A and B are shown apart, each in its own frame.
Chain A
Amino acid sequence: MAANKLNLKDKYRLLTRDLDWEFSYQERKKAFPFEEFEGIKITDWSKWEDPFRLTMDAYWKYQAEKEKKLYAIFDAFAQNNSQLNVTDPRYINAIKLFLTAVSPLEYQAFQGFAHTGRQFGGVGARVACQMQSIDELRHVQTQIHAMSHYNKFFDGFQDWSHMHDRVWYLSVPKSFFDDARSAGPFEYLVAISFSFEYVLTNLLFVPFMSGAAYNGDMATVTFGFSAQSDEARHMTLGLEVIKFLLEQHEDNVPLVQKWIDKWFWRGAQLLSIVGMMMDYMLPNKVMSWKEAWGVYFEEAGGALFKDLARYGIRMPKYVEQVQTEHMSHQLWWTMYTHGHATGFHTWIPTDEEMDWLSEKYPETFDKYYRPRWELAKQMEAEGNRFYTKALPQLCTTCQIPMLFTEVDDPTQLSFRDTVYHGERYHFCSDGCRDIFHEEPEKYVQSWLPVHQIFQGNCGGPGVEQVLSEYYGMNLGADNLDIKGSPDEQRWNRWKGVA
């Protein structure tokens, strides 16, 4: 290597921390007003390390190459009419859910990192947040591009951003990020960079995307893996954030632990959506949600928390209460029974799929979940496909319908409540109740879709007007069972099936 070429470490130092400047006419505290109120103590920002030592010039170079590869594949996908190569039109519904639930979170992450990066006094942290912010914007753009192709052929893709802000089940992902972005900058980093990116997003972008490949969807697997290649950098930032905060001051340890407990639980509940997508929405299945949880949380997360034990950090508090055995089944049943109010199609799993589920969940599927599908089949055969009539009770914290069962009794719904300033609040779990107790003034503001409908804030008067006029769903096309849907009819026509 030529002697005049800077090595990576020197280049990184020159292009990051030496870019900083001293403030001559303004107090530093006023320049970074958000840095202290959370109680985190930073004594020396120069201790911040980016293990990848990525500088802006290298960042643009590699990101540009990733984009070129990605768009070449999108072009090939479109030119080859590859929408016809997916396993089965049911698969497309997982992508509809991805576009309305996940892609807007990429945009929220872009905004969150732009804001958070501005708030840090340390230049290394600012540069890392800036890159991540740009990454997240890239992710939402590539996802929209990839899925716009499906919008030409299938229903339900037309108004994803509008829907994200309004639709009942999409308030779950939306409120997750609203919660993180309205926290201070250090909690935001622990929430998103560490708990979400490091501990949990692998579960979304790795096994689910591998599943997309297995279902013939090259566009999605490509944007997924391209995004995840940035996530590898984000995960590394997340781990660095945690180590940095813990090394800066011992008083940071309990604060960080509390945030890990909270955001692990928020994330695990949120990811039940991914569990449902993997177990029920992918016609060709790579692994079950329970298996994915084993590899990407229990094994990988176990190693991580063992490594962090030297700082006095333990496993997240509610880890024993995560119901990987049950959550995907309970959530898909909820979506199936609310299929008149979803922006995607739902269906009864086929007999082969149910056998796969029994094999993957031998202790529970046949005992608790197969009978529900037998009932659904019976009702469908009688010409009476089951759509539930009334609106469900929601958890104040995670905003998911209160559909989860007790940890020690899968036949009984779990109910938790508390009274704060004379008002009663309901929760799906101990974790969600305890998060409320930590910051009730935040969660009394939860925008719970069912309550908002009853307050008349979502149009109406009937549910049908809420769905069509306020949510923007094309009723009869976007919603209801896949059987008899326009999506299915078109697919059969393309495939020459009567």
Chain B
Amino acid sequence: MSKVYLALQDNDISRYIVEAIEEDNPGVTIIHNPAMIRIENEGTLVVNRETVEEKLGRDWDVQELHLNLITLGGNVDEDDERLSLSWNA
């Protein structure tokens, strides 16, 4: 299985998003580079609205992710509840 990845700007909101990702994707790898955080996982990665809201303590629209997103790799599927990344092979 190949790795999917997501890179976020290293800022205050991303900190909580990363916490949510860590909780929902056991085994995920977090790499800190200057000004950015890179998150990698084997095969799939999911960002759940509910978990992010819990960490942030406020409503959060999945599309708000775009404000902090730098780049990603994998097939994207997004709806009101989550954004997921996956490779089929």
Contact = CB atoms under 8 A, between A and B. Distances in A.
A complexed with B: yes
Interface of A: 1, 7-9, 51-54, 58, 62, 65-66, 69, 202, 205-207, 209-211, 213-214, 221, 225, 228-229, 231-233, 235-236, 239, 286, 299-300, 302-304, 306-307, 309-310
Interface string B45-89: 000000000000000000110111111111111111000000111
Given A8-B80, A207-B33, A307-B89, 20 more contacts: A7-B79, A8-B78, A51-B75, A51-B78, A52-B66, A53-B79, A54-B63, A58-B63, A65-B67, A205-B71, A210-B34, A211-B34, A225-B35, A232-B66, A235-B71, A303-B73, A303-B87, A307-B87, A310-B88, A310-B89
A52 B35 contact: no
B17 interface: no
A259 to B, nearest CB: 21
Contacts, number: 98
21 contacts: A7-B79, A9-B79, A52-B66, A53-B79, A54-B63, A62-B63, A62-B64, A66-B66, A205-B71, A206-B36, A210-B33, A210-B34, A213-B35, A232-B72, A235-B73, A286-B33, A300-B5, A303-B3, A306-B87, A306-B89, A310-B88
B66 A229 contact: yes
Contacts of A209: 35
Contact of A225 (B5, B36, B88): B36
B34 A286 contact: yes
A307 B2 contact: yes
B67 A7 contact: no
B79 A210 contact: no
Contacts of B68: 229
B66 A233 contact: yes
B71 A202 contact: yes
Given A214-B34, A307-B2, A7 B80 contact: yes
Contacts of B73: 235, 300, 303-304
B7 interface: yes
Contacts of B63: 52, 54, 58, 62
The 10 closest A-B pairs by CB, nearest first: A303-B2, A213-B35, A51-B76, A214-B34, A213-B34, A300-B73, A306-B89, A210-B34, A210-B33, A236-B76
Contacts of B69: 229, 232
Contact of A1 (B5, B34, B71, B80): B80
Contacts of A235: 71-73
A54 B70 CA distance: 17
Contacts of B76: 51-52, 236, 239
Contact of A232 (B3, B64, B71, B88): B71
Interface string B1-37: 0111101010000000000000000000000011110
Interface residues of B, number: 30
Contacts of A214: 34-35
Contacts of B5: 300
Contact of B2 (A66, A210, A306): A306
Given A205-B71, A229-B67, A303 B4 contact: yes
B37 to A, nearest CB: 11
Contacts of B66: 52, 62, 66, 229, 232-233
A82 B32 CA distance: 24
A225 B9 contact: yes
Contact of A206 (B2, B3, B70, B80): B70
A209 B36 CA distance: 10
Contacts of A202: 71
Contacts of A7: 79-80
Given A213-B34, A233-B66, A235-B72, A8 B4 contact: no
Contacts of B2: 302-303, 306-307
Contacts of B7: 206
A225 B70 contact: yes
Contacts of A65: 67
B67 to A, nearest CB: 6
Contacts of B89: 306-307, 309-310
A326 to B, nearest CB: 25
A228 B70 contact: yes
A304 to B, nearest CB: 7
A66 B3 contact: no
Contacts of A58: 63
B78 A53 contact: yes
Given A51-B77, A286-B33, A286-B34, A206 B71 contact: yes
A221 B35 contact: yes
